[in-house]
Structure formats: structure tokens, C-alpha cells
Chains A and B, each alone.
Chain A
Amino acid sequence: MSTSANSTASVGSKISVSGLRKSFGSNEVLKGLDVEITEGEVVCVIGPSGSGKSTFLRCLNKLDELSAGTVIVDGFNLGDKTVDLNEVRQHIGMVFQHFNLFPHMTVLQNIMLAPVELKKQSTADARATALKLLDRVGLADKATARPAQLSGGQKQRVAIARSLAVNPDIMLFDEATSALDPEMVGEVLQVIRDLAAEGMTMVVVTHEMGFAREVADRVIFMADGLIVEEGTPAELFGNPQQPRTQDFLSKVL
């Protein structure tokens, strides 16, 4: 599909991060991260508030500028000025804590906007896809509703459907369930779980430790802008090595 297809990173690598640093003014928030994520892998990122989890995620689709280091996503080097960011972003969906649905559009219009504007699909095809995606997240009956008429859980499922509409092969979730009432967390996690089962490559920032333990192939623990420890859920939750990790887990588990 892409002419600048992956040639440097190892085969199967979807995201390759090395030496990533990010500062806001004099405040260095990411202090040198190295991460490799392979195709189909589900990586959960946990860590205390302010440790840089969101910033890390936002560097992966360049919502935030990188201060130093390289990030290669689906073969695109984000540091390369000639790379078309809009194209890269169509490969990498993002779901936000506060949904960020477009309030002036119906659910269907929210989902159809990008495919139609990006000329990936005709209006009719985009509508068909949108209805299929809505069905997949269990909201087929909400097509004509406005975001304001939906519950939090429903909003987040629409937001996921909207991201999927441009057919990405990577999904980023930034605390997708944190703004939800507890009884709605399950329905959103189920959608993410289904995506994992279908083999979607995903980076999931979450406070839901049980969920991370269940779906993650790998868990990364961040603190103070650094990756302190990473491993399989069994390793990280069962036998954390670092005192910072032990300390954090003792508070949240």
C-alpha cells in the first residue's frame, strides 16, 4: 500500500520507538523510551498519574511533536518531515478518555465523516460500513441519535467505531473507560477485548488492572517519563522486580 513501507524495522514490527524524549518547555515529560511492538500484539501501559502515559501515546500519532528520538509506525518515520502525517494517522486509530465525539453530527455522520472526506469510500459505502461497525459495537439502533442522547459507554463505543471506520491496523486507547460510570465499563472493555481477539495491534493505557492482566500480551509500567519495567501480565503482576512497580501495584491492586 505504501511506497515508504517498512524496510528498517524487523519483520512484523508495527511500532518501533527508540530514544523518545518529549519536553514541554523546560519540563521533560518523556526521558528516553525504547519500545518495539509487533503485529497483533496488545500492549497495556500502566503507571501513576503524570508519568507520561498519555504523552507517549500522543507521540505515536504525532498529536504531540517529538523532542528527540525516532518513532516508526507501520514503516513511516514520524521524524521525517516529508511523511504525510494525515496518511499515517489513517493507519492508527485513537480513542480518547472523553470520547471527543462531534456533537453537531449524528452518530452515523460521526463515523462516516473521515472515510467520505478522505475519499476512501463513497457516501453509500461509508454508510454501509458505518452501520456494520455500529452493529459490531452493539449500537445499530443509535445511528440517527446525537452524541448528547447517548450514555457514556455508548459514546465510547461510537468513538471506537468512528476510529475503525478508516480501517486502521493499530489502535491506541487512552484511558477509554476512566470517564465512565462503573456499570458501563464492561461494555467498552468487551469491544476492546473483541478487537484483541481479531488480532488488532493495540496500545492500551488503562487503570483497569484486571483487564490488563486478561487481554495484554505485554504490560509496560511507566513512572517519571521512563519505562521502569515491562513483561507479560503474569511476570509484571505476579512477580514485579522493581520497587517502584511493587509500590504502585500494592496501591492499585
Chain B
Amino acid sequence: MNIFRAGKLAVAVTALLALAGGFAGVSAATASQPPTAVTGETYVIGTDTTFAPFEYRENGELTGIDMDLIRDIAANQGFKVEIKSLGFDAALQALQSNQVDGVIAGMSITDERKLIFDFSDPYFDSGVQMAVAEDNAKITGYSDLAGETVVAKRGSEGETFANSIKDEYDFTVKALADSATMYDDVKAGNSVAVFDDYPVLAYGINQNNGLKSVTEKEQGSSYGFAVNKGQNPELLAAFNTGLAELKDSGEYQAILDEYLEQPAPAAASGFFGLLSDSLPALMKGLGLTLLATGLSILIALVLGVLFGFFKVSESRVLRGLASVYVSIFRGTPLLVQAFFFYFGLPQLTGQSIDVLTAGVLTLSLNAGAYMTEIVRGGIQSVDPGQTEAGRSLGLGYVTTMRRVVLPQAVKIMTPSFINQFVMTLKDTSLLAVIGFAELTYQGQQIYAANFRTGETLLIVAALYFIVINLLTMLSNKLDKRFNK
């Protein structure tokens, strides 16, 4: 896709269409509209990764209200769309830098956003609604919440609303990170009710998530389709026209009903259905998990050997350098390191960083610190008499290390290396928080859409278990083979 295509091309295309009247006639015949500025154009549309029911994946395909709407509007208006599932923040950034032409991502129209984007007419009225467990007959309104705990999504409208009425009705608000977790919390009885966006809640109930809504939705924000300020006005106009036509034809209501009203076909499939549905995505995640682990361990090994030698060297500067490195990365949580490299570093350097690079950087620097200690410990656990024997024969430091100390140290270090390898593999799951699409992340995406948290996590855990044990067995075999 071309970054500069947007405005300039619209003009060019209009001119071209005027010239090639015959071609325009043909393409107009397929749409219900006479040719317009967007006819035949292809627009790149950014969206979130998972925000059911607006966008989520089903059998690997992007689907949801937003997806159906934008595709139907495009067909109605005679243009084509190329959907990019980027994640919410990334999609907005891509829009600002003209890497995408528009964004549809269940985005509320707010005054701040209006300063940088142009919004379409609202295509959906959201609002907060309260739900309780299906079998809960006691709580039917806000007044039954006295003395109870409710959950809401951190930083969401639901949280704002719940907090605004908690004193009046005397309940406590607990904030959690995502919808699936909140619903599980209510089902487990840890909290009695959840305040969530009406469409998300309705979709979840639709998917038999074990909850029921008990209040009317509170009036909330409206969702809009956005283009960059001043860019692609013809696309925005086409969206508005198309939306109006879909509303008139009843197609719009049919889309909403499909996701919010009609109950899902009875609990899709059993455990094995879920397994076969989710396995392709999970295997892709597993591939990324192994890739990140492999790269990180290799780099960590290099770092560990380098700084490990620094640690046992006679130079105070080198020893100090290694100690600082180790204490920084062992003295801070991996999660904080991941956030720093993915979000913090780009802000400091102005250089954006892709998630795999940030993830591998985090894991390798972190594992490198532990490797450094393993290497140092290994070298120091070799009897100093060995070095003395080597040196007294006239062998140099390097030769003594290489031929005498290291072969013995490696043997001592190998079990710790294998252990670190397994730790790093497991640590990759923490990268889910920065949106690295590894195994855990894939699992989260799946249960965010189907609410089958327990079963999905069981499959994810089983995959980790199998892979880790296979790799451990293999490593131990190699260890026995080469370090007898």
C-alpha cells in the first residue's frame, strides 16, 4: 500500500475515470451507485486485534460488527478494503502516519480524538451495562449491590460509571484488565456483578459466557470510523452514504442482531472441537514462542560468556561493568523490562521498535544476566589448582581457559544452562502483555472471543508442558552424550 496514495490519488482517479468512461460504466454497473471518487479504489483499513464482537478472529478469519460493516459499505459504495489487524494503539498510530487510510476499531468519538482525526457519523451507540451470574436471582438492580464487590475494566467507561455510583449504592469496585477475566471473576463468585460495554457484554452472553444482563444500558459514547484529519474526505463521505443505505435497507440491523441478539449455535463444539479450532492459531503462537526463545538464548549465551569472563577477569573495570549489568537485569522485574524496551525506549530514542525485537532484546538481556552468573559460577567452581597446573606448565591464560578450565566448567554449567533455557521459554509468555503474538497471547485471543477460558488455558498449558519436557529430555540426552 502506498503511504501517499490517499488524497492525491483521489484526484487522479477521478480524472482517470472521466477519461476511461467505458471502464467506469462497467464498474458502476456492479454497484448500486453511480461512479464516485472512491469507485474502484482500494483503501487500507486498520483495526484492533481482538475486541469482540467488533473484531475478532474465527477460524483465523477476521470477523465482527466492524468487519461486516466496512466490507458491506465498501461493496455498497464500490470500493475495496484491505484490512490490517494491528491492535488499537498501533492502528491509531498508523493512521496518524498515513500508513493506513482509515481505522474502524470500536473507537469512541471523543473531543480529543476529534482534534487529530475526522470521524464518520456514529455507527454504533455504546453504553455501560451491568451483568451478574446466570443463576444469581438476588441481584436485579444497583440497589442490591450494597456491601458487595463488582468488577470493571481498568480505564474503561464501565469503571468510570461504576465509580460514579459506588458511594450512592455502597459497593466496592475492583478493576481487571480484560472482559474474559472479569466474567470468570463473576462466575467464580469473587465479585457479584460486572460493568462492561453493552455490546461486549451482549456478545459474551450470546456466546453462553454464563452471565445475564440485569439493567438497561446507560447512555454512553458512540463509535465512529476515522480518517486522518483532512485526509481521504471522499472515503469518509462514502462511509456515511453507505452506512445510511445499510440502515435503510435493514442490513445494518441484521449485522447487529447477528452478533448481539441471536444466541450462538448451541455451545459450538466440545473440548475436541475447541482443540481443533484453536490449534492452528496456537501452533503459530508456539512457533513464535520457540523463535523468541531460540534467538534470546543464543544472544544470552554470548552475553553470558562475555560478561562471565568479565566477572572472573583481573580488571576491576570489567568486573564492575559485569556486576552493574547483572544487578540491573536481575534486580528489576522482567515485565518492567519488557515495557521499557517496547514503550519506553522508543519514546527516549524516537525510534520505533517492533515487538519481536523488543521481546528478544528483553529476554536475551535478562537471560544474559543469569547466564553471566552461571558462567562465573562454573568457572569459579573449577579447582584453582587446575589453572595453576596449566600456568605452571607455561600455558597462557587463554590456552589454560580453553583447554583446562572451560571443558570442566561447561560440564558443571550445563544443567544450569538447560534450566535457564526452560525459564526463558516460559518467560516468553510475559511478552503477551506487549502484544507479542506468542502462545499465551494466542490463547488469550481465543478465550477473549469464545469465553472458554479454562479449556483454552488447559490446551495452552499442555502445549508448554509437552514442548518443555521434550526439549529438556533432548538437552539432557545431549548433556550425557557430550559431557560424560
Contacts and interface: CB of A to CB of B under 8 A. Distances in A.
**A in complex with B:** yes
Interface of A: 61, 63, 86-90, 92-94, 96, 98, 100-104, 113-114, 117-118, 159, 162-163, 166
A89 B394 contact: yes
A144 B366 CA distance: 43
Contacts of B25: none
Given A96-B389, A102-B389, A117-B403, A166 B408 contact: no
B280 interface: no
Contacts of A162: 389, 393
Contact of A63 (B392, B396, B403, B404): B392
A93 B411 contact: no
Contacts of B404: 102, 113
Nearest to B392: A94
B403 A96 contact: no
Those 5 A-B pairs whose CB atoms lie nearest each other, nearest first: A100-B389, A90-B394, A114-B393, A100-B385, A89-B394
B302 to A, nearest CB: 24
Given A93-B392, A163-B393, 12 more contacts: A86-B394, A87-B394, A89-B392, A100-B383, A100-B386, A100-B388, A104-B408, A113-B403, A113-B404, A117-B403, A159-B389, A166-B394
Nearest to B396: A86
A117 to B, nearest CB: 5
A102 B408 CA distance: 9
Given A98-B385, A100-B389, A102-B389, A118 B394 contact: yes
A11 to B, nearest CB: 26
A1 to B, nearest CB: 14
A93 B404 CA distance: 17
B168 to A, nearest CB: 73
A118 B392 CA distance: 13
12 contacts: A63-B391, A90-B394, A94-B388, A94-B389, A94-B392, A98-B385, A100-B389, A102-B386, A113-B403, A117-B395, A162-B389, A166-B393
B388 A86 contact: no
B93 interface: no
B394 to A, nearest CB: 4
Contacts of A88: 394
Given A104-B411, A113-B403, A118 B395 contact: yes
A88 B394 CA distance: 7
Contact of A61 (B386, B392, B396): B392
A113 B388 CA distance: 14
A24 B391 CA distance: 21
Interface residues of B, number: 18
Contact of A113 (B383, B391, B393, B408): B393
Given A63-B388, A103-B408, A89 B393 contact: yes
A159 B404 CA distance: 15
Nearest to B404: A102
Contacts of B411: 104
B379 to A, nearest CB: 14
B190 interface: no
Contacts of A93: 392-393
B386 A114 contact: no
Contacts of B287: none
Contact of A89 (B383, B391, B408): B391
Interface in B214-266: none
A26 to B, nearest CB: 20
A155 B428 CA distance: 49
Nearest to A61: B392
A211 B88 CA distance: 87
Given A96-B388, A117-B399, A104 B407 contact: yes
A166 to B, nearest CB: 6
A44 to B, nearest CB: 20
Contacts of A104: 407-408, 411
Contacts of B403: 113, 117
B395 to A, nearest CB: 6
Output the residue of B383, B393, B403 with the most chain A CB within 10 A.
Answer: B393
Nearest to A162: B393
Nearest to B400: A117
B461 to A, nearest CB: 40
Contacts of A113: 393, 395, 403-404
Interface in B398-412: 399, 403-404, 407-408, 411
A166 B390 CA distance: 12
Contacts of B407: 104
A89 B399 CA distance: 14
A102 B383 CA distance: 10
Given A100-B383, A103-B408, A104-B408, A114 B388 contact: no
Contacts of B399: 117
Nearest to A120: B394
Nearest to B389: A100
Contacts of A94: 388-389, 392
A124 B399 CA distance: 20
Contact of B385 (A87, A90, A92, A96): A96
Nearest to B393: A114
B449 to A, nearest CB: 56
Contacts of B389: 94, 96, 100-102, 159, 162
